Amino acid sequence: MTPLELVLAGSGLIAGAALVALLFARARRLASLIAVLGAILGGAIGLWGAALVITSGWEGELATGWQVPGGALVIGVDPLSAFFLVPLFVIGPLCALYGRRYLARAVIPAIELDLLLVAMAMVVLARHALLFLVAWEAMTLLAYLLVTREHGDGAVRRAGWAYLIASHVAAIALFALFVALGARTGGALDFGSLARAWHGESAGAVGILVLALFGFGIKAGVIGLHGWLPEAHAAAPSHVSALMSGVLIKLGLYGLLRIAGFVSPGPWFGIVLMVLGVAGAIAGIALALYQKDMKRILAYSSVENIGIALLGLGLGFWARTRGQGALAAIAFGGGLLHIWNHAAMKGLLFLGAGTVVHAVGTREIDRMGGLLGRLPWTGAALIVGALAIAALPPLNGLTGEWLLYRALALVGGLAALCFVRLIGVVLLGTPRGEPARQAHEGGAAMTAPVLILAALCLAAALVAPLLVSSVHAPLTAELGASSRAEVAAAGALLAPLVAVDAGLLAAMVLVASLVLWRWGRARGAETWGCGYAAPSARMQYTGSGFSAELAARVLPRWLRARVAVRAPEGPFPRSASLSSDTGDPVTRGVVEPFLVRCGDRFARLRFFQQGNVHVYLLYIVATAIAALVWVAARDWLVP
């Protein structure tokens, strides 16, 4: 079988499992098991095909012969497609396995998750604009159904609407994008015709790339277009959040890279991506720094990491237009490697957060504490994920950022503080409530995916040069950035870091072994209480208190939380209060006021809604007459 056939077979097996599970929906245990096994087996087959494409540089297409507007539908795979299929076929099955236990073997969400995997695969495999848009819309709607799983909660409904509205605004931009692309092909909308018609063309590339950046940027969560992301990721079931953050938002970057391959971006495009990347990285982690909701912290961290990937890709485009192949290889290699690394890291963190939320019953970190002793496996995996995403050795988060680290020093420092805060408040200290005292692990189906992703984060750090070298095909073919030798040289830059990581890891294992041995011998001894006779959870730092000083001194005012204080008054005060608004400043200060103004303007048109059928018929007749007059007078009015 060809690699394309393997990918299609894997996707087909996942889709078939979803349909069979639907037939056995009344038998919940059997149906959910079928859906999960289909995702695991189909993912393994699809991953095999994608890996063959990446390692060999194989490309292939399959014309279906199904005639639609713009030509026959075509599907295909190339190294760029395969690069984004790898995290899909790794993270997707793990999320399906986790979800079976997390949602108590619920059948419909398992089926929807399988279909979402297939829709995302078709987005990457589509080689025709119509098929791409249909798959894109299917992906959007299936994700919406999963996000709004707990639709009885008003916050969940709000998050679902925010995601759906943002996604359809993006879809309108993508429709306009493909219409503009098809204007030079005589109506042909297959990707081959679009690439040939626009190859080397830079005159109309500005409008094309602006539309692409807007439409795909919304899905990717680019800063300024990210308003839906923290809402949806916080509201969705945790395994859905892991899939969306690890895979779905990356498809926005895929679309941007695919369209950029049709045209010839000028240096300005790379500069724009770099500016958005730096702004997103700094603002994303700054907003994560004072959130109280555990999943919103991770969601804003996704905005940060999309910014890091954009920075690398933008630098790559700029270097390519300047003819600097070595720099382009380093930048593109760092950006692409970070996409893979972030998929593993964020999948791990969201699944770990799901176990914590499942055990404690809340997402608010100030009501947790002391969970490391009660969730040892999940807690250890979360520490691995936090080290990785804070770009600390010896984990994989540093390998992608190392190639770009001079521009990311501030972001790295803030990220380290953010996840020290998260781990310290959630896992360490003493429990802050009875649910935290009663917490326990969620079972093998929830623990195994977390540990697998933690192992991937560790392994990816130790084989980073190999991973960079393995993506030479998308770098040299689709992105046209560098020669294979330049890509290999970029990977070689990570060799010293890998040596340091290996040595540090060995030292950590040795120290941990000694500590465990010593702890085992000293079991029963009490920890010194620093003079406190009866310490309590109230003596611990809260999440807000941990970061308050840095946020006040480092972050600009518009990025800080809004704090309202009513101080006690008089010699015998009766009350005082403190409230903190941690809402998104872009949504709060830009998007919502804009929507309110638009709503006010459209409200003035309500007089057209007369509620009278005769008036509506009059509108139709008047519109038809106006159209006929225009058709009759067009040749005379327009020379």
pLDDT tens per residue, range 494-503: 777 777 778 8
Q: Which residue has the higher pLDDT, 552 or 463?
A: 463
- In which domain, by residue range, is 345 found? 266-509+542-548
Mean pLDDT, rounded, for 519-541: 63
Instruction: Round to whole Å and give the CA distance between 600 and 367.
Output: 40
Say whether pLDDT at 14 is over 50: yes
Q: Which amino acid is at 230?
A: P
Mean pLDDT, rounded, for 68-94: 90
Mean pLDDT, rounded, for 140-158: 91
Helix 325-360 / helix 376-389 crossing angle, nearest 10 deg? 150
Specify the DSSP element, H or E, that contains 256. helix 250-262
Assess if residue 347 is contained within a domain.
Answer: yes
Contact 94, 347 (CB under 8 A): yes
Residues 501 and 589 placed together within one structural domain of the fold: no
Task: Give Cα 127 to chain centroid, integer Å.
Answer: 23
Residues 323 and 427 placed together within one structural domain of the fold: yes
The two beta strands, 60-68 and 71-77, are antiparallel
Residues 299 and 419 placed together within one structural domain of the fold: yes
> What are the C-alpha distances in Å from 355 to residues 379, 424, 610?
10, 17, 53
Please give the DSSP secondary-structure letter assigned to residue 476.
I
What's the pLDDT band for 504 if we cut at 50, 70, 90? confident
Closest CA to 299 of 99, 593, 583: 583
Say whether pLDDT at 380 is over 90: no
Contact 377, 444 (CB under 8 A): no
Residues 400 and 502 placed together within one structural domain of the fold: yes
Q: Where does residue 71 fall: left (phi above 0), alpha (psi -120 to 50 degrees), or beta otherwise?
A: left
Mean pLDDT of the chain: 84
Residues 325 and 414 placed together within one structural domain of the fold: yes
What's the pLDDT band for 407 if we cut at 50, 70, 90? very low
Task: Give Cα 56 to chain centroid, integer Å.
Answer: 28
Which of these ranges, 42-51, 370-379, 444-453, 483-492, has the smallest mean pLDDT? Answer: 483-492
Q: How many domains does the chain have?
A: 2
Mean pLDDT, rounded, for 395-420: 68
Task: Give Cα 595 to chain centroid, integer Å.
Answer: 25
Residues 495 and 633 placed together within one structural domain of the fold: no
Assess if residue 592 is contained within a domain.
Answer: yes
What's the pLDDT band for 584 if we cut at 50, 70, 90? confident
Say whether pLDDT at 526 is over 80: no
What's the pLDDT band for 371 if we cut at 50, 70, 90? confident
Integer-rounded Cα Rg, in Å, for the chain is 26
Say whether pLDDT at 515 is over 70: yes
Contact 258, 385 (CB under 8 A): no
Question: Which residue bears the tokens 């995702």?
Answer: 39
Q: Which residue has the higher pLDDT, 555 or 622?
A: 622
Which of these ranges, 77-81, 285-289, 470-474, has the smallest mean pLDDT? Answer: 470-474
Q: Give rounded-to-5 percent helix, strand, coil for the chain.
A: 75, 5, 20
Assess if residue 364 is contained within a domain.
Answer: yes
Report the 10 Å Cβ neighbour count for 440: 12
Residues 621 and 473 placed together within one structural domain of the fold: no
Contact 299, 369 (CB under 8 A): no
pLDDT in the model for residue 400: 65
* 626-631, Cβ contacts within 8 angstroms, sequence gap of 24 or more: none
Assess if residue 206 is contained within a domain.
Answer: no
Instruction: Round to whole Å and give the CA distance between 196 and 185.
Output: 9
Residues 351 and 499 placed together within one structural domain of the fold: yes
Residue 360 backbone dihedrals phi, psi, to 5 degrees: -100, -30
Which tokens go with 143?
């994700």
* pTM reported for the whole predicted model: 0.87
Instruction: Round to whole Å and give the CA distance between 430 and 486.
Output: 52
Q: Helical H runs in 70-190?
A: 79-102, 107-125, 129-147, 154-182
Mean pLDDT, rounded, for 72-84: 90
Contact 367, 430 (CB under 8 A): no
Please give the DSSP secondary-structure letter assigned to residue 141.
H
Residues 444 and 296 placed together within one structural domain of the fold: yes
Say whether pLDDT at 232 is over 50: yes
User: Which residues is 577 bridged to in the sheet?
Assistant: 566
> What are the C-alpha distances in Å from 504 to residues 380, 420, 495?
17, 19, 14
Contact 382, 349 (CB under 8 A): yes
Assess if residue 576 is contained within a domain.
Answer: no
pLDDT in the model for residue 519: 65
For 552-572, b/e burial (b = at least 16 CB within 10 A) is eebbeeebbbeeeeeeeeeee
3-class state of residue 427 by DSSP = helix
pLDDT in the model for residue 523: 54
Say whether pLDDT at 525 is over 70: no
Task: Give Cα 289 to chain centroid, integer Å.
Answer: 18
Q: Which residue has the higher pLDDT, 72 or 241?
A: 241
Please give the DSSP secondary-structure letter assigned to residue 541.
P
Mean pLDDT, rounded, for 110-124: 95
Say whether pLDDT at 246 is over 70: yes
Which of these ranges, 110-119, 194-203, 346-355, 514-523, has the smallest mean pLDDT? Answer: 514-523
Report the 10 Å Cβ neighbour count for 509: 10
Instruction: Round to whole Å and give the CA distance between 80 and 196.
Output: 18
Q: What distance, in Å, lies between the first and last C-alpha atoms of the chain?
A: 58
pLDDT in the model for residue 391: 76
Q: Which residues contact 476 (CB under 8 A, 6 or more apart)?
A: 482, 483, 484, 487
Residues 495 and 597 placed together within one structural domain of the fold: no
Query: What would the pLDDT profile of 171-211 be if each residue is shown by its tens digit?
Result: 999 999 999 988 888 778 888 888 888 876 666 788 899 99
Contact 494, 464 (CB under 8 A): yes
Closest CA to 215 of 277, 137, 144: 137
Instruction: Round to whole Å and give the CA distance between 630 and 507.
Output: 80
Say whether pLDDT at 396 is over 80: no
Mean pLDDT, rounded, for 583-589: 77
* 491-497, Cβ contacts within 8 angstroms, sequence gap of 24 or more: 491/333, 491/464, 491/465, 491/466, 491/467, 492/465, 493/330, 493/402, 493/403, 494/399, 494/402, 494/403, 494/464, 494/465, 494/468, 495/465, 497/393, 497/398, 497/399, 497/402, 497/464
Say whether pLDDT at 422 is over 60: yes
Assess if residue 49 is contained within a domain.
Answer: no
Closest CA to 436 of 370, 487, 517: 370
Mean pLDDT, rounded, for 58-69: 82
Residue 227 backbone dihedrals phi, psi, to 5 degrees: -55, -35
Assess if residue 68 is contained within a domain.
Answer: no
pLDDT in the model for residue 213: 95
Say whether pLDDT at 115 is over 50: yes
Say whether pLDDT at 295 is over 80: yes
What's the pLDDT band for 105 if we cut at 50, 70, 90? confident
Residues 595 and 491 placed together within one structural domain of the fold: no
What's the pLDDT band for 375 if we cut at 50, 70, 90? confident
Residues 486 and 628 placed together within one structural domain of the fold: no
Residue 389 CA neighbour count, 13 Å, CB half = 37
Question: Which residue bears the tokens 């993912």?
Answer: 43
Mean pLDDT, rounded, for 472-486: 65
Instruction: Round to whole Å and give the CA distance between 63 and 195.
Output: 17
Quick check: bond before 465 cis, omega within 30? Answer: no
Contact 302, 221 (CB under 8 A): yes
Say whether pLDDT at 11 is over 90: yes
Instruction: Round to whole Å and give the CA distance between 217 and 593.
Output: 21
Question: Which residue bears the tokens 């990717």?
Answer: 220
Question: Which residue bears the tokens 């720099």?
Answer: 327
Which of these ranges, 279-288, 296-305, 324-333, has the smallest mean pLDDT? Answer: 324-333
Task: Give Cα 479 to chain centroid, integer Å.
Answer: 22
Please give the DSSP secondary-structure letter assigned to residue 566.
E
In 423-507, at which residue ranges do the beta strands (DSSP E only) sit? Answer: none
Assess if residue 63 is contained within a domain.
Answer: no
Q: Residue 141, exposed/middle/buried by CB under 10 A (0-12, 13-18, 19+)?
A: middle
